[in-house]
Amino acid sequence: MKIAILTQSKAGYENKKLHQAAKELGHQCTIVNINDVVIEVGGLDKKTENGAFVNGENLTSYDLIIFRFIFSAKKRAMALSKLLRYSGVKVMDNNLEQVGYNIDKIRDSILFHVNNIPYPKSINVLDEDDFTDSCNEMGYPVIVKHTGSGKGQGVYKFDDIGDVEDFIEKIEEKGKKLQTYLIQEFVPYVMDIRVLVISGNVVGAMQRIPKEGEFKANFSRGGSVKMIEIDDETRELARKAAEVTRATNAGVDVLVAENGTKYILEVNRTPGFEGFEKATGMDIATLIIEEAIKNAY
């Protein structure tokens, strides 16, 4: 099978492992930067070859295209996904073409709410007064996170109104908007769990442990990880969270509060798996390739 991994960065652990896994399974595999793709469609000459070209090669000649890490190229990726499927190529885009977003914490929070999935109380506002009032009403400490960032980026913990006011000042200096941030209650937790869900199946889980003095437990932010067994409640919660957000491949973050209540923190639609492989010893790259070959459409 002829496979291409379409991404914004040809480097990185995950892309290299996927490329290696595909080749070890006996397939031809190429990593393609989505920004190098030239789209050609239409024209008066019906004999003109249409498609998506990289260095003169048409991606419509591939059997399978896997989209990975295309955050700022979302619209281009959606268009390419539609073109490739129309041309008969199987595409694994994590339902990007249908849902229309890579990361949208506001939309996900609403989906969790309407599907009765426990989620920390969250508020999204438009102006400074509402922002400070909402933080005060939420109670400190309070979490503020960018609605479109992943891997622990753009996530802050504020202990008082002074921290919030300093944050607002910096945001305004940079010309950014407060409405791109979500105010969220801080959940004192005893365990932070990443559950990996692929094609609706929970394949495993790891505990994420933050560095001393750090509240974020992301592996990409320096946290440590270890494999754990999870109970049926946690498995079903993670599976359902991935389902309602229509994430074919998902890294679902679950917080276990001090009182034992489990909350979905977020669903990562393009989960990194370096930490997961380190914690579990599983070959996630091969699993993703096999699932893509089996379930892509």
pLDDT above 90: residue 92: yes
Q: For a pLDDT cut of 70, what percent of the chain falls above it?
A: 98
User: What residues pair up with 14 in beta bridges, in sequence order?
Assistant: none
Q: What is the mean pLDDT of the chain?
A: 92
Task: List, by residue range, all CATH 3.40.50.20 domains of the chain.
Answer: 2-99
- Residue 218 above 80 pLDDT? no
Between strands 224-227 and 201-209, the pairing is antiparallel
Mean pLDDT across 189-193:
94
Supply the pLDDT for residue 17. 96
pLDDT band for position 221 (cuts 50, 70, 90):
low
The pLDDT of residue 213 is 72
Min mean pLDDT across 47-51, 99-103, 176-180, 291-295 is at 47-51
What is the mean pLDDT of the segment spanning 14-20? 96
Domain 189-269: which CATH class?
alpha beta
CATH 3.30.470.20 domain locations along the chain: 189-269
Q: 99 falls in which pLDDT band (50, 70, 90)?
A: very high
Q: Quick one: CA torsion of 103, 245, 5, 197, rounded to 10 degrees?
A: 120
Where does CATH 3.30.1490.20 sit in the chain?
121-185
The mean pLDDT of 143-157, rounded to a whole number, is: 86
**Contacts for 166-169: CB closer than 8 Å, 24+ residues apart:** 168/128, 168/131, 168/132
Residue of 280, 296, 270 whose CA lies nearest to 69 = 270
Encoded tokens for 131: 């922002």
CATH topology of domain 121-185: Dna Ligase; domain 1 (3.30.1490)
**Could you read off the pLDDT of 247-279 as tens digits, one per residue?**
999 999 999 999 999 999 999 998 989 999 999
- Which one, of 117, 119, 52, 45, lies nearest residue 79 by Cα? 52
Q: Whole-angstrom Cα distance, residue 220 to residue 93? A: 23
For 161, other C-beta atoms within 10 Å of its C-beta total 13
Does the pLDDT at position 25 exceed 80? yes
Residue from 104, 108, 265, 241 nearest 179 by CA: 104
Q: Is the pLDDT of residue 235 over 80?
A: yes
| Mean pLDDT in residue range 49-61 | 94
Q: What is the reported pTM?
A: 0.89
What pLDDT score was predicted for residue 9?
82
Q: Which CATH number fits domain 2-99: 3.40.50.20, 3.30.9.10, 3.30.70.2740, 3.20.20.70?
A: 3.40.50.20
